[in-house]
Amino acid sequence: MKRPAGSSLIKNLEFKVGALLVSTVLLVVGFVIYTMYARGDFQRTQNLTLIAPKADGVSIGMPMTFSGFPIGAVKRMQLSEDGNVRLEIAIPSKDARWLRENSVFTLEKGFIGGAKIKAHTSNLKDQPLADGASRTLLTGDATEEIPVLLEKLKSILNNIADMTNKESQINQTLANVQDVTHRMTGEYGVLEGVLGGPEKARQVVAVLEKTNALLASLNGVSLKVDAVLAKTDSRLFGPQGVMDQTQESVAKLNAILGDARESLKKADALLANAQAASADLPRITGNVREATADMANLRTEIDDSVRKVNHLINEINKKWPFARDVEIKTP
């Protein structure tokens, strides 16, 4: 009697398990080969050595990008004898055409994420980069500048705080300016402000009026002189002649006008100081704003300070009776 075949409880056990094992082995081997391919083990590459003072954030396998596209990867890193870092980059031959003799390589590190090695080529018609070439890696590290930036910001803010302090020089200056401009709105305007009171201003005005009168008479004198010149020279140029007297009058007039000019110069200087101070503030705040695009807290603090200063300046502007280009003209 023949043995009945297949007493086993599972149909096609051998086939099923065999198929599973074969497919598993295929998957594993295929996956390993794929990762080798993905790592570029089957690609022809050329080497590029980048030398950097330091390589923070650089790791093996890190890509090097050109225009945002990866064209190579860090293959090996080592510290050279002189303390620099040598990064060996493998570049697939087909991507090597993006690199030229004039190419520049940078290592950039942002606030978030790892470092990035970037290649920049300005002229793609230049000589191609030779295999095994060696270049310096320029580092530009945004995060490294943060502490420096913060230090600068701090000092700027301290300055602003000093400026906006009650006892600060600028406040005193502004108080003085306020005082001066208040006086300027008086009867004698700027002169009153510059000279410190209506009395003195009146004196100046009086002097000026006298000067005007003098000038008018001087005109008359010179006309007469012309007439006299036409007639007689000897009298005019002789000792104790008319000319001598005229010279004396003119000298006096000059002295008076010089005094007035001095006073006006002082007022100008004062105004220039105030203007410079108020012009500086927006510039400083402009810088600050640029540097701290993301630092909302700092910005609000600065804004607050600036708003105070702006307010003061606005007040000054309101009380200032003249347009900027108006000049005080001597008659």
Partner 1 sequence: MIFVTNFLTRRGTALLATWRIWRDTLLFAARAILTAATPAAYNSATRTVVMKQIYFTVVQILPGFTLFAALLSYVLIQIVVTTAASYGLSEYALEVSMRLLVLELLPLITALFVALRSSSAINTEIALMKINGELLALENAGVDTMRLEFMPRVIGGMISVLALTAFTSVIALVLAYLAVYGWQTWSLPDFSRIMGNVFQNTVLLGIFLKSLAFGLAVTVIPVAEGMATPRMLFMAPISVLRGMVRLFFLIMLIEVASLAFKYI
Partner 2 sequence: MADVASHREFLAKNDLIAEQDNALVSPDMPLRANLSVIDNIALIPQYRSNLKYSMAADQAWALLVETGFQDMYAKRDPALSYSERFVAKLLRGVISKPAILMVDRPGMLLPEVHYPPFLFSILERMAAYLNDCWIIDYQWNRALYGAQISYPELDYPELPQTQP
Interface residues toward partner 1, by CB under 8 A: 10, 13-14, 16-17, 20-21, 24, 27-28, 31-32, 34-35, 37-40, 61, 63, 70, 73, 112-113
Give the residue carrying structure tokens 């007035």: 260
User: Minimum CB separation from partner 2 for residue 11, in Å?
Assistant: 14
What's the rounded Cα separation, in Å, for the pair 39 and 267? 77
**AA identity, residue 151:** E
With CB under 5 to 8 Å by kind, the binding choice for 7 among partner 2, partner 1, none is partner 2
**Residue 324, interface with partner 2 (CB under 8 A)?**
no
**AA identity, residue 43:** Q
**Residue 1, interface with partner 2 (CB under 8 A)?**
yes
Which residue, 35 or 155, has its beta carbon nearer to partner 1? 35
Cβ neighbours of residue 260 closer than 8 Å, sequence gap 6 or more: 204, 207, 208, 330
Per the CB < 8 A criterion, the answer to whether 86 and 77 are in contact is yes
Per the CB < 8 A criterion, the answer to whether 78 and 110 are in contact is no
**Residue 276, interface with partner 2 (CB under 8 A)?**
no
Which residue, 28 or 296, has its beta carbon nearer to partner 1? 28
Instruction: Count the Cβ atoms, other than its own, within 10 Å of residue 146.
Output: 11
**Residue 3, interface with partner 2 (CB under 8 A)?**
yes
- Count of residues in contact with partner 2, rule CB under 8 A: 5
**Residue 4, interface with partner 2 (CB under 8 A)?**
yes
User: Minimum CB separation from partner 1 for residue 35, in Å?
Assistant: 4
Tokens of 162: 């000093």
**Residue 11, interface with partner 2 (CB under 8 A)?**
no
What's the rounded Cα separation, in Å, for the pair 101 and 122? 10
Which residue, 13 or 26, has its beta carbon nearer to partner 2? 13
**Residue 122, interface with partner 2 (CB under 8 A)?**
no
Question: In what helix (H) or strand (E) does residue 200 lie, and over which residues does it extend?
Answer: helix 198-231
What's the rounded Cα separation, in Å, for the pair 95 and 113? 25
| Candidate ranges 2-10, 26-34, 248-256, 269-277; the one touching partner 2 (CB under 8 A) | 2-10
With CB under 5 to 8 Å by kind, the binding choice for 38 among partner 1, partner 2, none is partner 1
With CB under 5 to 8 Å by kind, the binding choice for 113 among partner 1, partner 2, none is partner 1
**Residue 7, interface with partner 2 (CB under 8 A)?**
yes
Which residue, 35 or 123, has its beta carbon nearer to partner 1? 35
**Residue 10, interface with partner 2 (CB under 8 A)?**
no
User: Minimum CB separation from partner 1 for residue 80, in Å?
Assistant: 25
User: Minimum CB separation from partner 2 for residue 19, in Å?
Assistant: 20
Cβ neighbours of residue 49 closer than 8 Å, sequence gap 6 or more: 86, 87, 88, 89, 132, 133, 134, 135
The string of DSSP codes covering 53-113 is: S--TT--TT-EEEETTEEEEEEEEEEE-TTS-EEEEEEEEGGGGGG-BTT-EEEEEE-SSS
**Residue 234, interface with partner 2 (CB under 8 A)?**
no
Tokens of 202: 């009146």
Binding site for partner 2 (CB under 8 A): 1, 3-4, 7, 9
